[in-house]
Amino acid sequence: MKSIILGIDPGLSFTGYAIIAYDKPKIEPLTLGTLELSKTDKETNEKLTIIYQRIYQFIKEYRVNAFAIESPFYGKNIQIAIKMGRTQGVCMAAAIANQVPIFDYAPRKVKQAVTGKGNASKEMVAGVLQNIFKTPLNDHFLDATDALAVAVCHAYQTTIPIIGKSQSSWKNFIEQNPHKIKKN
């Protein structure tokens, strides 16, 4: 089944977004970018309204059926944590308003899924994504590539087989997942 996944890297000044089409095992980026509100004189509530409206529009326009968002990383500054939480909340509200299921991923999990290293830099994540999709990704859009990583992480999570009766051995796994075998 084809999924249209919206990945979000929330931030009040810079919210990264990426939309991918995922039809196992193919992942195709449809759009990505950054909602940049740092250079505006708008108040916090106005910025949150703009973010909500744009995310809502993306969901409708692309017929998104899965919403993946990066959990905010909480540092020492409580004010930044509050702003991040509010931004995440309005993004999630746009998904809820459209009845789109929400999936939340820790930054470390996203980096691990894409690069194999949970402590990878933003630049490393962008570099790996550039290699995966064979397209240049501008370093100025690291929030957008982070959002793309969130969407890709979600796609990877949906392909993880459930170990149980049908997956009782590596042989069964390989037989049921030939697309996961890398051939040189």
- Residue-wise pLDDT for 2-19, tens only, equals 899 999 999 888 999 999
Q: How far is residue 39's CA from residue 115's CA, in Å, rounded to a whole number?
A: 32
Q: What is the radius of gyration, based on Cα positions, of the chain?
A: 17
Residue 119's φ and ψ, nearest 5 degrees, are -110, 25
Q: What is the pLDDT of residue 176?
A: 65
Q: Which residue has the higher pLDDT, 166 or 141?
A: 141
Residue 164's φ and ψ, nearest 5 degrees, are 180, -145
Domain ranges of the chain: 3-180
Catalytic residue positions, numbered:
9, 70, 143
Given a cut of 50, whether residue 161 has pLDDT beyond it is no
- Residue-wise pLDDT for 24-64, tens only, equals 889 999 999 999 987 777 788 999 999 999 999 999 999 99
Q: How far is residue 27's CA from residue 48's CA, in Å, rounded to a whole number?
A: 30
- The answer to whether domain 3-180 has CATH 3.40.50.450 is no
